[in-house]
Each structure stands twice: as C-alpha cells, then as structure tokens.
A and B are shown apart, each in its own frame.
Chain A
Amino acid sequence: MSELLNDILFLPEAASTFAERIDFLHHFVVGTTMVMSTAVGLAALFFFFRYRRRLPAQATEYVVPTLKTEFLFVSVPLVFFLAWFGIGFRDFTWLTTPPKDAMDVYVMGKQWMWKFSYPEGPNGVNVLHVPANRPVRLLITSRDVLHSFYVPSFRIKMDALPGRYTQIWFEATKPGTYQVLCTEYCGLSHSKMLAEVVVLPQEEYENWIQEQRRGLLQDRQDALADNSMVPPVARMVEQGQILAGTQGCLKCHSVDGSQHIGPTFLGMYDRVEKLEDGQTIRVDEAYITQSMMDPGAHLVAGYQNVMPTYQGKLQGPETAAIVEYIKSLRTPNVREGASEGPAYDAIQ
C-alpha cells in the first residue's frame, strides 16, 4: 500500500530507516490535503450551483457566522496542523540525534565534488561506501561556498557550511547504489555535483574496508567526478608549499622533523596529539584549519601559545592548499595502533 502510494507520488524507494518513518507522515499530510481540497472544491461547486443568481439585482440574506462556527474554522485546522507538527518534530529530533554507536564519516563539499574520508579508512571522491543496517553519522563541511548533501532515497539533507561542521545520520536498510545531489546553489556546475552512496551488506563492507587499508592511502578518482574545474591535488600541494613560505609558517614549523617553535609538519597529518588540557585530538583537515584560524583553541601540550591567527589573511582555497601540503608530508610512521577519533562534540 505504502509502495503504491510512493509510486503515485513519485517518491523514490525508501532506503533508510528515516525514510520509512517519514513516509507515513507524508502520506497522512498529502492525503488530508487531497481530501480537504476536494471537499472545499465540492462544497464550493455545490454552493455555486445551489445559490446561483436568479434575478439581476437579487437581494440576499445577511448571514453571519456564530462564534461556534468560527471556533470550528480555527480549531479543526489547528488541531491537524499541530498534530502534524508534533509527529514531524518528533521525527526531526530523531533525525538530528545520532545514536551513540554511529559510525562517523567526514564529508567535504567543494566546488564541484564531494570528498569522503573515514577515520580509519580511505578517502573517496564522489563515492561513499557504507554498511547496511548500521547507523552512519556524517560530519559535513564545505571548502568554499554553501553546498547541501541530499540523498533522496534516504530522505536526508544537510547543508555544508564553510568554517563549520554540521551533522546528520542515517541507517541504510537496503544494499544498493543511491544518488547524492547537491541542493544548495553553488555556482556554475551545481547540477553536476553528483555523488553516490554505495550500501554494502555488512560482510562485503568489511572486506572492502580491509582492502582499502592495505596500502591504498591515496584518493580514488571516480568517473562521476567532474574535475575539470578543480585544480589537481599536486598543484595544490605546490601552492601550499609556496604559501607556507610566504605566510611565515616555516618560521616556526619545520618540515624535516626537527623541533622548533611549533610542531613539525613532517608526519603531522593523522597523528594523534595530546593537548594542553589532557585531551587527545587527531590532526585532520579540520584541526589544521582550526589551528590556522584560532590557534589558541586546542593547543598541543608542550608548545607556547604564540601562533598568530590567519583569519582574514587566507582565503578558503589557500588554507586548503596548505592543508594538502601538510598532508603530502606524511611518513609511513603514522597510524600505529588504532586511531581514537577526533575530540569533537556533536553539533546540536
């Protein structure tokens, strides 16, 4: 029945737990809308006919509604609307509260592609692999302008904001491939910023992850990516190297492992660092960017808080280039032992 309704309404198949939940509300609301429109329409048509004019200057009765009628006009819609709000908001809070055991994936939107990275896994471009029947939390950000991560089959959507992380979670129910579309206008190739979510059954997903970990640390370019507009990573690394010189990073950060005023860039990426306040943090793109903008926020233990802020001095692409440069200085010594994940709080 629900399938039939979904077909009539052109809804894509429900492939996540959230989709199954809200499709009920969808049917309820749409159904009531249809019924009400028809009812009002029929009532109106009936009145038009029954009370058609019989004389050119016909006089009519002076009819006023009783208080009870007006109260009915107000309360019946209000009850329905609030009921829908109640159901809808309940589902919304369910959607914005990821379960504690959700698996994290970092999503970065940039003009005009989606990049995914797993805390313990590979990076992907425009293809996101997830296991079926397991909650997945997406931590989404943007490198440049606003984007929005939308998977119609999961009925989920969340904007990608530069300078901030937003989050959303889902649990895919059926293995398959589902399209991701960007739904916040972001420029020339906004409509080409497509990606896909590949939902694999649990064991296949495990196999895939093992395969990826076995020495495949580089980005996988995918046929869907339109890279004609994006400078290739190699050039970004060069640009980052130049910027590190001109912006004064190299005055305090070495690139060969030697100790200096700030932590060395060599092997910095993906390291688990201990902070001044005892917490640990994983050095990923977000942390590196934060350190450039607000250096005092999460200070590595043992170092002085003397780094100037680069906020306002670097454009988005420039910080990205510096990050890529630092990433290129990885050594095989990185990632001994299990990563502990970043010390982020969920964004409420």
Chain B
Amino acid sequence: MQSSSHAAGGALPVPRLAGHFASLEVQNHAARLGMWLFLATEILLFAGLFICYGIYRFLFPEAWAAASRSLDLTLGTVNTVVLITSSLTAALAVHYAKDGKNKAVAVQLGLTLVMAVGFLVIKYFEYKHKFDIGTLPGRFYSYEDIQLPGVPLYFTVYFCATALHGIHVVIGMVVLSFSLVRALKKADFGPNNFTMVELGSMYWHLVDLVWIFLFPMLYLV
C-alpha cells in the first residue's frame, strides 16, 4: 500500500509506510506500543535502585536523614523545576508537530535541550561539591562530619541513582536532537507524521518522571 503525497491543494508530508504494516495507522500504533514497552523496561531498571534505597533507608534511618540534610535543597529544587518545565516544552513540541508548525517544534525542542543542559550543569556543581567534601561512594568516602553507620551507603545510592538518571538525560537529549534536526532541515512533521517527536517526548517524560521520584527520595527525606 503506497501512501500518496499528491493530495489536492497543499501537499501534506507523509511518512513512508513500511511494507509489512497493514496501514499507517497500524504502523504508528505499533511504534507507540513499542515505546510504551521500552518505557516499562526503564521503570524496572530504576526500580532495582529504588529497592536498594528502600531497604537501606529502613536499615539506617538516622544516617539517611542526616546525609540527606547535607544535600543542597535549593539546587535540587531548581533542577526539579527545570526538568518539569522541559517536559512541558517537550509536550508542546508534540502539539506543534501535530499542527505541522515545524519552526515551533524546533523552538520547543531547543528549549528542552537547553534546560536539559542546565540540569546537567547544576548536577555538575552538586557533584563537584561532593568531590570536595569527600562524600563519595564506597572506598572513596572520606567525610567525617556525620558519624553514623550507613552514611557512606547513602552516598553510594545517591551517586548510582543520579548517575544512572544523568545517563538517561543524555540519551534523551540525543533522541530529541534527532527530532530537532529533522524539524529544522526536512521540516516535514505534520498531522500524519509526528510519531518521531511523540516517541522522543514520551521518553523525555519518563526521564522527568524518574527525577520526580528521585528528588523527594533523596532531598526531602
């Protein structure tokens, strides 16, 4: 089945229909379903770390509370706001893509990427501070100010969780930049062709969702 791009009047750009799908609708549905399944795997990936967090918090409640105090709540809150806003811009990008407004798509995705960079920059400062005071995971730990068993473990969990999250932020940025480039160069997003933006945005929402869990768990204990 070939999809014609010769519509009467203004030709709407249409994506290529892969030969093995029954229709474009099925193809898009399949893509979305695939992405939802992939998001499920990502949630389970983080779930393992959340379990570690939960168990050790239960075992060392005082250490958890004390160590959490040593995190910079301001920076953490700023990061949260930044990331949530970037989710908004990502969602807007999908909205504009559905309307075929490619320039707006590019703008929104660009904003999302800028905010992602901002998030990473703030994270860099947080990490640097930890390097300086010695609250590093495992055998690199050398912080003396809190004398409770379990504090080094808190920082191990902190680093593992935020590092894994940071890696996913970078992956999300790469995914979104593909859409950004396409919005700028080919500019062919439209009502029949926005799946790429939608899937990238879904992934970004997951990245944001994970942080929404990490933030209270780590900073608001």
Co-complex (A, B): yes
**B148 and A309 within 8 A (CB):** yes
A311 at the interface (CB under 8 A from B): yes
Count, chain B residues at interface, CB 8 A: 10
Q: How far is the CA of A312 from the CA of B63 in the complex (A)?
A: 14
Count, chain A residues at interface, CB 8 A: 6
Q: How far is the CA of A170 from the CA of B153 in the complex (A)?
A: 37
Interface residue ranges of B140-181 to A (CB < 8 Å): 141, 144, 147-150, 152-153
A294 at the interface (CB under 8 A from B): yes
CB B205 to nearest CB in A, in angstroms, measures 37
A128 at the interface (CB under 8 A from B): no
**A309 and B141 within 8 A (CB):** no
Contacts of A105 in B (CB 8 A): none
Contacts of A312 in B (CB 8 A): 138-139, 141, 152-153
Q: How far is the CA of A232 from the CA of B149 in the complex (A)?
A: 30
Q: How far is the CA of A308 from the CA of B142 in the complex (A)?
A: 13
Q: Which residue of B lies closest to A310 (CB)?
A: B149
Query: Which has the most chain B C-beta neighbours within 10 Å: A294, A308, A312?
Result: A312
- Chain A, 285-317, contact with B by CB distance < 8 Å: what is the 0/1 string? 000000001100000000000001101100000
Contacts of A294 in B (CB 8 A): 149
Give the A-B pair count, Cβ closer than 8 A.
Answer: 15
CB B87 to nearest CB in A, in angstroms, measures 37
**A293 and B147 within 8 A (CB):** no
CB B65 to nearest CB in A, in angstroms, measures 15
Contacts of A293 in B (CB 8 A): 149
Q: How far is the CA of A312 from the CA of B153 in the complex (A)?
A: 9
Q: How far is the CA of A73 from the CA of B147 in the complex (A)?
A: 60
Query: Which has the most chain A C-beta neighbours within 10 Å: B144, B148, B149?
Result: B149
Q: How far is the CA of A309 from the CA of B146 in the complex (A)?
A: 9
Q: How far is the CA of A312 from the CA of B152 in the complex (A)?
A: 7
Query: Which has the most chain B C-beta neighbours within 10 Å: A293, A308, A311?
Result: A311
CB A336 to nearest CB in B, in angstroms, measures 34
Contacts of A308 in B (CB 8 A): 144, 147
Contacts of B152 in A (CB 8 A): 311-312
- Chain A, 253-295, contact with B by CB distance < 8 Å: what is the 0/1 string? 0000000000000000000000000000000000000000110
- Chain B, 114-128, contact with A by CB distance < 8 Å: what is the 0/1 string? 000000000000000
CB B156 to nearest CB in A, in angstroms, measures 9
Q: How far is the CA of A294 from the CA of B139 in the complex (A)?
A: 18
- Chain A, 101-120, contact with B by CB distance < 8 Å: what is the 0/1 string? 00000000000000000000
Q: Which residue of A lies closest to B137 (CB)?
A: A312
Contacts of B147 in A (CB 8 A): 308-309
CB A310 to nearest CB in B, in angstroms, measures 9
CB A299 to nearest CB in B, in angstroms, measures 14
Q: How far is the CA of A311 from the CA of B156 in the complex (A)?
A: 14
Q: How far is the CA of A309 from the CA of B66 in the complex (A)?
A: 15
Q: How far is the CA of A51 from the CA of B7 in the complex (A)?
A: 63
- Chain A, 133-168, contact with B by CB distance < 8 Å: what is the 0/1 string? 000000000000000000000000000000000000
- Chain B, 37-52, contact with A by CB distance < 8 Å: what is the 0/1 string? 0000000000000000
Instruction: Write 7 A-B pairs (CB below 8 A) sorted by A numbering.
Output: A293-B149, A309-B148, A311-B150, A312-B138, A312-B139, A312-B141, A312-B152
Interface residues of B (CB under 8 A from A): 138-139, 141, 144, 147-150, 152-153
Given contacts A312-B138, A312-B153, 13 further A-B contacts (CB under 8 A): A293-B149, A294-B149, A308-B144, A308-B147, A309-B147, A309-B148, A309-B149, A311-B149, A311-B150, A311-B152, A312-B139, A312-B141, A312-B152
Interface residues of A (CB under 8 A from B): 293-294, 308-309, 311-312
Smallest CB-CB A-B distances: 6 pairs: A312-B152, A311-B149, A294-B149, A308-B147, A309-B149, A309-B147
